[in-house]
């Protein structure tokens, strides 16, 4: 699979949409503190840009989900235990929501720590691929069922540093 010449969303289009997501989130949580929890590695660029567009007191943390390559069963979930979850307005920041299996699992685990609220912001959504009943609260763009790369998203570890969103084919 190689990088397609086709651009899905340009740098400017992403910046504009991330700005409006920031305003949407700021309005929703008005007057409150929030905890932003990014899912590594794909969300690292989105988090950097989005967090600066949220005009609220916010803590920022990251979590990594370790997936077994052989079985595709989720095996382990790792995060920094000093990150405030109990009693917090927790907003998960994801790169892309595909089948939803990963996020459903993460949300189930996080609920055990009793956040005050738990919501999801995903840059990209592939709604047609969903296998679980999961509706993200804030969505940047809906995308077709193709493998998207760039702006943090990878294909076999590559293309995360592309400044725009594209495809591999």
Q: Which residues are catalytic?
A: 98
> Which positions from 126 to 155 touch ligand IMP by CB under 6 A, shown as an x/- string?
---------------------xx----xx-
* Among 8, 35, 95, 136, interactor with Mg ion by CB under 5 A: 95
- Judged by CB under 5 A, the residue of 38, 42, 100, 152 near Mg ion is 42
44/83 with CB nearer Mg ion: 44
To the nearest whole angstrom, how small is the minimum distance from the Cβ of residue 124 to Mg ion?
10
Contact between 126 and 98 under an 8 Å Cβ cutoff? The reply is: yes
Cβ 152 to Mg ion, closest distance in Å?
A: 9
Interface residue with ligand IMP, options 22, 38, 100, 150 (CB under 6 A)? 100
Query: Under the criterion CB under 6 A, does residue 98 sit at the interface with ligand IMP?
Result: yes
Q: How many residues bind ligand IMP (CB under 6 A)?
A: 15
Query: Given the complex with Mg ion, which of 34 and 154 has the nearer CB atom?
Result: 154
CB-CB neighbours of 38 under 10 Å: 26
Cβ atoms of 62 and 41 within 8 Å: the answer is: no
Q: Does 136 sit near Mg ion (CB under 5 A)?
A: no
Residue 165 near ligand IMP by CB under 6 A? no
In the 3-class helix/strand/coil scheme, how is the chain assigned residue by residue? CCEEEEEEECHHHHHHHHHHHHHHHHHHCCCCCEEEEEEECCCHHHHHHHHCCCCCCEEEEEEEEEECCCCCCEEEEEECCCCCCCCCEEEEEEEEECCCHHHHHHHHHHHCCCCCEEEEEEEEECHHHCCCCCCCCEEEEECCCCCEEECCECECCECCCCCCEEEEC
Q: How far is the CB of 92 from Mg ion (least distance, A)?
A: 10
**Binding residues for ligand IMP (CB under 6 A):** 42, 94-103, 147-148, 153-154
């Amino acid at each position: 699979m190689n990088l397609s010449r086709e651009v899905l969303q340009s740098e400017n289009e992403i910046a504009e949409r991330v700005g409006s997501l920031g305003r949407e989130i700021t309005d929703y949580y008005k007057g409150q503190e929030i905890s932003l929890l990014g899912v590594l590695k794909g969300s690292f660029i989105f988090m950097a840009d989005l967090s600066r567009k949220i005009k609220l007191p916010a803590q920022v943390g990251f979590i990594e989900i370790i997936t077994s390559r052989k079985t595709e069963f989720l095996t382990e979930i790792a995060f920094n235990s000093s990150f405030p979850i109990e009693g917090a307005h927790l907003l998960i920041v994801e790169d892309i929501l595909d089948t939803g299996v990963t996020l459903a699992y993460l949300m189930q685990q996080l609920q055990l720590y009793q956040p005050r609220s738990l919501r999801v912001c995903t840059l990209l959504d592939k709604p047609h691929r969903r296998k679980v009943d999961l509706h993200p609260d804030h969505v940047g763009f809906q995308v077709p069922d193709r493998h998207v790369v760039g702006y943090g998203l990878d294909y076999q570890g590559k293309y995360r540093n592309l400044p725009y969103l594209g495809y591999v084919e």
